[in-house]
Amino acid sequence: MRDKPKRYEVIVDDSAKTALEKHVEFLAQVSHSAAIRLVDDIEKGFESLEFMPARCPLFIAGKTGDTYRRLIVAGRYQLVFTFNEEEGIVDIRYILDSRQDSTI
């Protein structure tokens, strides 16, 4: 019998929530349905990080030198996060639009 995969708690930092709001507000000016799809895609990304967040590649932030992981959602948005295996927590720190210069 297979063991159930470990499930992580996903926490979204306030700065990531604020970034999401800005991305959605901007996109809603162009297309309300596209803004709704973006929210849905990002929520699915959050849910997918509950299982196997280590599958996402590591990178070192240019400004701070901190190590993060990232998951690409909706083709161009990056969910930038850390995770603590022992505590079972995924901490989403940033939501970035890959089309913008958004060096961390």
What CATH number should be reported for the domain holding residue 74? Answer: 3.30.2310.20
Is 102 within a domain?
A: no
pLDDT of residue 71: 97
Judge if pTM exceeds 0.85. Answer: yes
Hey, how many other C-beta atoms are within 10 angstroms of the C-beta on 36?
Answer: 13
pLDDT, one tens digit per residue, over 10-37 is 999 999 999 999 999 999 999 999 999 9
Asked whether 59 and 70 are in contact (CB, 8 A), the reply is yes
Neighbouring C-beta atoms of residue 59, cutoff 10 Å: 14
**4, part of any domain:** no
How high is the mean pLDDT of the chain?
92
State which residues form the domain around 76: 9-97
Q: Is residue 13 part of a domain?
A: yes
Task: Note whether residue 103 is domain-resident.
Answer: no
Number of domains making up the chain: 1
d(CA 68, CA 63): 12
pLDDT-based confidence at residue 101 (cuts at 50, 70, 90)? low
The helix/strand/coil state of 73 is strand
